[in-house]
Structure 1
Amino acid sequence: MLSSKNLEHLNSVKTYPLFLFFFLVQVYNTYAQVPRKWSFTQSKMGSPFSIITYSNDSAKVERSISRAYLLVDSLNSVYSDYDLRSELSVLSQRGESPKVSNALWDILEKSQYAFSKSNGTFDISIGPLVKLWRKARKLKQLPSDTAIRNAQQRVGFKFIKMNPTTHEVKLLRNNMQLDLGGIAKGYIAQKVVNFLKNEGLVSSLVDAGGDLAMGQAPPSKKAWSVGVNIPSSEELLPRYLFLQNAAVATSGDMYQYVEIDGKHYSHIVNPKTGLGLTHQRNVTVIAPDGATADWLATACSVLPVKKALKLCDSFPNTGLLIAEKKGKMILKWQNSYFEKMME
């Protein structure tokens, strides 16, 4: 017969492993619920196109990321000015289209709005000048005044006629060339983030060659942390941006510039002069979506500092940092929203 003392001992022996079992199950379930980080990079649009997302469903991630990159390819086949078969290139070659695709119409509308808001400093009809400047950079020789004037005659959004009812587009000057280089990467990055959200991958970040778009913050974090380069350097500023459901774009001449006759010229062309910018400036823009961040970064590279700050302040939840190198000095300007997003 078992004594009460033995029964107490047996009960304690039986109960302890059961408690331990449930404790281990609870810990495992808690750990299993923490989404895993996934990172992917493919070469798209001439630069690395990276996606970070969080999920414990590997099958969903594999399927969704594969479809996301197919989306990038499909949009690039519409927007590329390098691919002569793209819808954009065909429009430039033919000078008209009775009905452009919804994808092209949407970005053309956004570009028209950007042209108006930026006082013409962002202009997708700048293609003839960009082509001329690419040649000048390659030869390290300035284009002639005559060549610039001839190219400028084919530049101006007023020469793009858009019918909002039929989505018909006509280019009113011969040999116009549309260039979406200042908006397409940010636009596509945002489209991918939106697609991943619809797939249930709400905590995702997309880096389209330096144009960032992001969804909700990573699990267990308050925000995505984004580093900003010091002008003319690969080093980062000591303070980071902390963002979610936002986009960041940078523009500047840190890597893409040329010196001609001892003068520093950026790869970014000023539509009014037809030449690359001569001030050494890095611009970082925070905006609610990738397309807006992208075109604002381009426009604020061209605009005088005060007008650039005023432009960004006219948009909600939009931040601007301008860093300009003058001799050995680096001057900085930023608006209050940019400061608010830094820690």
Structure 2
Amino acid sequence: MLQKCNLRKRMMGSDFELIACCDSEAAAAPYLQAGVAEITRLERLLTEFDEDSQTSLINRNAGIAPVTVDGEVYRLIQRCIRLSELSQGAFDITAGTLKSLYRFNTGNQALPGKHALKEQLRITGFRNIELGSDNQVLLRKKGMRIGFGAIGKGYAADRVKALWTASGLASGVINASGDLTAWGCQPDGSPWRIGIADPGKEDTILRWIPVEKASVATSGNYIQYFEHKGIRYSHNIDPRTGLPARLLKSVTIVSPGAELSDALATAVTIMGADAGLYLLGQLPGVHGIIVDEHNHVLTSEKISTHASI
């Protein structure tokens, strides 16, 4: 009988759990090792915190000169720009500079002044990313930065899944702190499932979702946030205004790919319930669960959820 063989490791700033369903731990070991190696490779390629990474090279040359990158990085940036266009700028890989205006998890703090916001917004915006021929990337303005924090974990999960399925693994899970992709079934034949946490009670499951050949990502304001004048502000910052999102407590996206789910969870958090659900309704195979500021649970059409048991 198959068994769940897992490995836990902190990578890309998150706690990853890799699960491979195999006949034995020995049979699962090559899959797990290959998964760790792939995530480690991607972290070195995409991180902002290693001066030798291609992301750092792009950022150092902002406003100076284009940088030639690997085709893999170039295509990822292309997809990020398309997601920015799709979400009308709610998702934006240049928004990281705005976080320097805030200190999350520090209790109460004031919102930044208009001048500080204006200065940071001046060097923010996906339309200032220029993609040239031969995999060249240029950030048009000095001081600009890109970062893959809102999509990198999902991309890594998709890459590991692609490696594993190409090698014949029929069932597995890649879980990055709750953002996961899964396929096949559990060893007992039941579907994989993920619990959606109640934003007001982190240890309580609000709903659970059966996951089959799908990926799930959640973004919420109940872990990293600050409060100002009695209002809770999320760590997700609107790239268009420079201000933190504050209306939605939790957004969970189910889609065919972890990269897409990861990015859309951020985008919908910024967009709000009405615009977010409208966007999800235009995308085939994409669904969402939203907990709004009044603790109402809103869902897109045709999503299958179950009450907590």
Common fold: TM-score over 0.5:
yes
1:334 and 2:299 correspond: yes
Partner of 2:74: 105
Partner of 1:78: 45
Question: Which of 113, 133, 150 does residue 144 from structure 1 map onto?
Answer: 113
Partner of 1:304: 272
1:206 and 2:153 correspond: no
Partner of 1:182: 150
- Alpha-carbon separation, structure 2, partners of 1:137 and 1:261: 14
User: Which residue type is aligned with residue 63 of structure 1?
Assistant: P
Distance 1:60 1:105, change over 3 A: farther
Which structure: greater strand fraction? 2
User: How far is the alpha carbon of 1:194 from its aligned partner?
Assistant: 1.5
Distance 1:134 1:239, change over 3 A: closer
Distance 1:191 1:134, change over 3 A: farther
1:88 and 2:24 correspond: no
Match runs of 1:313-332 below 5 Å: 313-326=281-294, 330-332=295-297
- Alpha-carbon separation, structure 2, partners of 1:252 and 1:238: 14
Distance 1:219 1:201, change over 3 A: same
Larger Rg: 1
69-78 or 231-240, larger mean C-alpha shift: 231-240
User: How far is the alpha carbon of 1:58 from its aligned partner?
Assistant: 3.6
The higher-RCO structure (CA 8 Å, 6+ apart) is 2
Question: Which of 35, 39, 45 does residue 12 from structure 2 map onto?
Answer: 45
1:119 and 2:88 correspond: yes
Distance 1:179 1:220, change over 3 A: same
Q: Deviations over 1:309-331 (max 9, x none)?
A: 111111111111110133xxx11
User: How far is the alpha carbon of 1:93 from its aligned partner?
Assistant: 1.0
User: Which residue type is aligned with residue 162 of structure 1?
Assistant: L
Question: Which of 123, 132, 150 does residue 101 from structure 2 map onto?
Answer: 132
User: How far is the alpha carbon of 1:42 from its aligned partner?
Assistant: 0.4
Distance 1:102 1:57, change over 3 A: farther
Query: Which ranges in structure 1 are unaligned for 5 or more consecutive residues?
Result: 1-33
Question: Which of 146, 153, 156 does residue 125 from structure 2 map onto?
Answer: 156
- Alpha-carbon separation, structure 2, partners of 1:221 and 1:342: 18
User: How far is the alpha carbon of 1:102 from its aligned partner?
Assistant: 2.2
49-58 or 315-324, larger mean C-alpha shift: 49-58
- Alpha-carbon separation, structure 1, partners of 2:99 and 2:56: 15
Q: Deviations over 1:22-55 (max 9, x none)?
A: xxxxxxxxxxxx2121011001122211011111
SS at the partner of 1:337? coil
User: How far is the alpha carbon of 1:260 from its aligned partner?
Assistant: 3.0
282-291 or 206-215, larger mean C-alpha shift: 206-215
Distance 1:238 1:159, change over 3 A: closer
Match runs of 1:223-302 below 5 Å: 223-237=191-205, 239-302=207-270
Query: Which ranges in structure 2 are unaligned for 5 or more consecutive residues?
Result: none
Instruction: Report if aligned partners of 1:233, 1:254 keep a CA contact under 8 Å in 2.
Output: no
SS at the partner of 1:143? coil
Q: Deviations over 1:297-318 (max 9, x none)?
A: 0010011312111111111111
User: How far is the alpha carbon of 1:281 from its aligned partner?
Assistant: 1.7
Distance 1:236 1:194, change over 3 A: farther
- Alpha-carbon separation, structure 2, partners of 1:169 and 1:221: 46
- Alpha-carbon separation, structure 1, partners of 2:242 and 2:106: 13
**Root mean square deviation of aligned Cα:** 2.0
Residue correspondences, number: 305
User: How far is the alpha carbon of 1:215 from its aligned partner?
Assistant: 2.0
